[in-house]
Amino acid sequence: MIYMDNAATTLRKAPGVIEAVTAAMKTAGNAARGAHGPALEAAGIVYDAREKLAALLGCPRADHVIFTANATQALNTAIYGLLGPGDRAVTTDLEHNSVLRPLYALQDQGMALDILPADRQGRIRYEALEALLPGAKALVCTHASNLTGNLLDLARIAELAHRYGALLIVDAAQTAGSIPINMTELGVDLLCFSGHKGLLGPQGTGGLCIRPGVELRPLLRGGSGVRSHDRAQPPEYPTRLEAGTHNAHGLAGLGAAADWLLREGVEKLCAREQELTRRFYEGVLSIGGVTVYGDFSVWPRGSVVALNVGDLDSSAAADALYTDYGIAVRAGAHCAPRLHDALGTAERGAVRFSFSPFTTEEEIDAAAAAVRELAG
Amino acid sequence: MIYMDNAATTLRKAPGVIEAVTAAMKTAGNAARGAHGPALEAAGIVYDAREKLAALLGCPRADHVIFTANATQALNTAIYGLLGPGDRAVTTDLEHNSVLRPLYALQDQGMALDILPADRQGRIRYEALEALLPGAKALVCTHASNLTGNLLDLARIAELAHRYGALLIVDAAQTAGSIPINMTELGVDLLCFSGHKGLLGPQGTGGLCIRPGVELRPLLRGGSGVRSHDRAQPPEYPTRLEAGTHNAHGLAGLGAAADWLLREGVEKLCAREQELTRRFYEGVLSIGGVTVYGDFSVWPRGSVVALNVGDLDSSAAADALYTDYGIAVRAGAHCAPRLHDALGTAERGAVRFSFSPFTTEEEIDAAAAAVRELAG
């Protein structure tokens, strides 16, 4: 099988991840719940993962790295923790439902919401963004579209947002680990990440990095291991936003993955993924009847290529790719409804090929050849 | 080391759990996100875990088993999904902060809250409970105290709650897997569980079982893999309450654990834990200067024994037990502030010994002997 659904979850994890999870399942107690060896080991695993994620993503304080079950929970924590019915927020057509649905729910409660449109190549106009910012409390946007791979210029967006006093919440589910990110240098206030995609860690992990000074209300409340007699969740990060038992087993794996990424260097892995993405793009670009979505004039980009073949339904194409060629891709809607509308693919969806640093040139060429045959 | 902090997390998992997690980390894609082999395998893992949990806990529909990151998130999902500022809720002094803090937050928003007191043995009066129920929308209570192990009579409580039209939300973090539970026979409306304690599965797993007909608002919103073009989270369970990528790796382990529990039989494992708990209780009961908390006249009970030794601070006692005897227990406050107040242990906390089906008689006797020495 050729696995090209890495934008949903990477199948091959970083070296050391499985071993770290296995070891933790034998020795890790409950982090921050007790002072004996296994509890301290679990606490060490969690703190180590915080430190590595902070180093990887440019978060100035390890205790401002909050762990959640996935990027969706991180985005919900950021959005509901910051925004309320009386506020105004701005987002874009590129967003995943993990951004849109929390914002829509707030809109239904009275929050004002403006959505920056995308064109048929999935691009936004930064000038148009600026016009929406006055009076906004937050701008919520993706770093890279999970559908087209188009990357947003976060430094430029952060500068614009801050000019108008808005905070910048970024969905880095598609880029953390695959594209270098330094949230401090970019000016990102809240960076939400998935642990099991580009970070090459286990499922059940994700989180958000908080710029010191940004205050979020807790989404979940419960045991914290400290200040048990307080009625409220303790005010200090990370405890304010983390309730209940940590997934120390999964975080052992995420820590191992982050460790590997730090040693390899995200720059190097990014260059590799960009090369693979370009190779596939160039392999399918000139095939008659194939429509590729997105703006491939700008690099780097998310390592995904979404396309359609002739007038085939995207699900039929994906089924044929899997059944006849053993190529695993994702079809249909990609939880990005507004972008499908913008691209004109709301009905048929799109076939998305997505890569990891472990994808090989041979796999890329085989996938491009399969698309050629399918279109033939 | 003798590990006796199983009420925080079980260190030894059910046979097959580690292998299942390891296998899933090599082969599981993203559940409900794609139709290729790895995605379908992940979906199968998740569904299989739902079916086994439903069988284990007496939930009539597997699609009404909702997975969360831990019991705390399950309780937050149940409490915030059902209750709002205009409602009235009832709870007890026995509760963990994962119940109390969400309820306090709602109380601060205008919800009325009544709390049934516990006596110095951590007991509640069912007659007093009945007086609080008229007009309540929900009663939220634990199945067994995480501090004393006292078990509540859920069948009796459910009958009372339903007599007054209140729904019953149960925190089974301390009992799922350790005490037989059939939520349908007991009359529980929402049963919240932890995956990594008595269920002997990995951290990062937990959930709630919903009686068909009970409607909860979503706590999290995001990608659902279905109905992508809807503004709102899809209305059907489990999707309504599950957003983002599942922890299929962890759920593979939880499914394996549930499979083992079903084969062994929770009745048998419960009998084993009761026997161990009784042996330890009888071993420490008559030691001069040792105070044991809770009502040990009623069995079965949670497999925990909390005590204090002379006038030693509980943390000092736990440190001595770990350092001098290699016995890992939990000291201090146990995220159950009201019960500490009721027991008179708010200042010094308590030393909690908690057992698993894998605890041995030799370990029990060694722990009791260590307490005797410490008290001597």
This complex has an ipTM of 0.97
Chain centroid to Cα B101, Å, comes to 16
Mutate to test the interface with A, among B19, B30, B103, B219 (most CBs of A within 10 A): B30
pLDDT at A333: 86
* CB contacts, 8 Å: A73 with chain B: 69, 220, 243-244
Residue A231: closest C-alpha in chain B: B101
How many whole angstroms separate alpha carbon A92 and alpha carbon A103? 11
pLDDT at A319: 96
| Enzyme catalytic residues of A | 335
Q: What is the pLDDT of residues B209-238, one digit of tens each?
A: 999 999 999 999 998 877 888 999 999 999
- CB-CB under 8 Å, B248 with A221: no
How many of the other CB atoms lie within 10 Å of CB of A212?
11
pLDDT at B332: 87
Which one-letter DSSP state was computed for residue B63? G
**Domain boundary assignment for chain B:** 2-11+266-375, 17-264
Taking a C-beta distance cutoff of 8 angstroms, is the pair A253, A17 a contact? yes
Taking a C-beta distance cutoff of 8 angstroms, is the pair A241, A102 a contact? no
pLDDT at A35: 84
pLDDT at A228: 84
Burial of B16 (0-12, 13-18, 19+ CB in 10 A): middle
- Whether this prediction's pTM lies above 0.95 is answered by yes
CA-wise closest residue to A277 among A374, A373, A148, A173: A148
Chain centroid to Cα A54, Å, comes to 16
Taking a C-beta distance cutoff of 8 angstroms, is the pair A208, A74 a contact? yes
Q: How far is CA B197 from CA A43, B192, B265, B336, in A?
A: 17, 13, 16, 17
Identify which of A34, A204, A315 has the shortest CB distance to residue B69: A204
Identify which of A18, A27, A37 has the shortest CB distance to residue B22: A18
The first and second tokens of residue A215, run together, are: 């205050």
Asked if the peptide bond before residue A238 counts as cis, ω within 30 degrees of 0, the response is: yes
**Amino acid type, A165:** G
- CB-CB under 8 Å, A318 with B35: yes
Identify which of B98, B204, B346 has the shortest CB distance to residue A204: B204
Within 229-248 of B, beta carbons closer than 8 Å to A belong to 229, 231-233, 243-248
Low-confidence ranges of chain B (pLDDT < 70): 33
pLDDT at B42: 96
Write down the H helix ranges in chain B: 17-27, 37-57, 71-82, 97-108, 126-132, 154-163, 183-186, 248-264, 266-285, 314-325, 337-343, 361-375
- CB-CB under 8 Å, A21 with B221: no
Within 155-174 of B, beta carbons closer than 8 Å to A belong to none
Distance from the B204 Cα atom to the nearest Cα atom in chain A, whole angstroms: 4
Which one-letter DSSP state was computed for residue A81? H
pLDDT at B374: 96
pLDDT at A332: 87
* CB contacts, 8 Å: A72 with chain B: 220, 222-223, 243-245
Which one is catalytic: B59, B141, B209, B335?
Answer: B335
How many whole angstroms separate alpha carbon B291 and alpha carbon B43? 50
pLDDT at A40: 95
CA-wise closest residue to A193 among A17, A60, A354, A74: A74
Identify which of B5, B250, B331 has the shortest CB distance to residue A29: B5
* CB contacts, 8 Å: A348 with chain B: none
Torsion angle defined by CA atoms of residues A19, A21, A27 and A28, in that order, rounded to the nearest 10 degrees: 150
pLDDT at B295: 97
Q: How many Cβ pairs within 8 Å bridge chains A and B?
A: 301
Q: Is the dihedral of CA A146, A152, A157, A159 positive or negative?
A: positive
A34 pLDDT more than 80: no
A11 pLDDT more than 90: yes
Q: A259 touching B, CB under 8 A?
A: no
Q: What is the mean pLDDT of residues A297-321?
A: 96
Q: What average pLDDT does the structure give for chain A? A: 96
Identify which of B1, B228, B346 has the shortest CB distance to residue A333: B228
How many whole angstroms separate alpha carbon A30 and alpha carbon A327? 40
- CB-CB under 8 Å, A233 with B101: yes
Within 277-336 of A, beta carbons closer than 8 Å to B belong to 315, 318-319, 322, 328-336
Going by pLDDT thresholds of 50, 70 and 90, the confidence category of residue A186 is very high
Residue A229: closest C-alpha in chain B: B337
Residue A253: closest C-alpha in chain B: B25
The two beta strands, B190-194 and B167-171, are: parallel
Does the annotation mark B270 as catalytic?
Answer: no
Taking a C-beta distance cutoff of 8 angstroms, is the pair B305, B353 a contact? yes
Asked if the peptide bond before residue A337 counts as cis, ω within 30 degrees of 0, the response is: no
Q: Is the dihedral of CA A10, A16, A19, A21 positive or negative?
A: negative
Q: How far is CA A222 from CA A59, A175, B29, B148, in A?
A: 26, 31, 31, 19
* CB contacts, 8 Å: A21 with chain B: 21-22, 25, 249
Q: What is the pLDDT of residues A203-231, one digit of tens each?
A: 999 999 999 999 999 999 998 877 888 99
Q: A37 touching B, CB under 8 A?
A: yes
Identify which of A5, A13, A102 has the shortest CB distance to residue B25: A13
Q: Report the CATH fold assignment for A2-11+266-375.
A: Aspartate Aminotransferase, domain 1 (3.90.1150)
Q: What is the mean pLDDT of residues A70-90?
A: 98
* CB contacts, 8 Å: A30 with chain B: 5, 8-9, 203
Q: What is the mean pLDDT of residues A155-159?
A: 98
Q: Which helix (H) or strand (E) holds B290?
A: strand B290-293
How many whole angstroms separate alpha carbon B129 and alpha carbon B108? 23
* CB contacts, 8 Å: A96 with chain B: 222-223
- CB-CB under 8 Å, A223 with B335: yes
* CB contacts, 8 Å: B13 with chain A: 25
- CB-CB under 8 Å, B68 with A194: no
Residue B203: closest C-alpha in chain A: A247
pLDDT at B134: 97
- CB-CB under 8 Å, B17 with A22: no
pLDDT at B181: 98
CATH 3.40.640.10 fits A17-264, yes or no: yes
CA-wise closest residue to A197 among A170, A172, A224: A172
Distance from the A26 Cα atom to the nearest Cα atom in chain B, whole angstroms: 7
Q: What is the mean pLDDT of residues A26-33?
A: 89
Taking a C-beta distance cutoff of 8 angstroms, is the pair B204, B247 a contact? yes
Q: Is A59 helix (H, G, I), strand (E, B) or coil?
A: coil
Burial letters for B206-216: b for 16+ Cβ neighbours within 10 Å, e otherwise? Answer: bbbbbbeeeeb
Q: What is the mean pLDDT of residues A333-348?
A: 93
Write down the H helix ranges in A66-123: 71-82, 97-108
A180 pLDDT more than 90: yes
- CB-CB under 8 Å, B71 with A34: no
Going by pLDDT thresholds of 50, 70 and 90, the confidence category of residue A8 is very high
Q: What are the residues whose beta carbons fall under 8 Å from the beta carbon of A271, sequence distance 6 or more?
A: none
Q: B226 touching A, CB under 8 A?
A: no
Q: What is the pLDDT of residues A129-155, one digit of tens each?
A: 999 999 999 999 999 999 999 999 999
pLDDT at A262: 98
How many whole angstroms separate alpha carbon B232 and alpha carbon A240? 28
- CB-CB under 8 Å, B72 with A223: yes
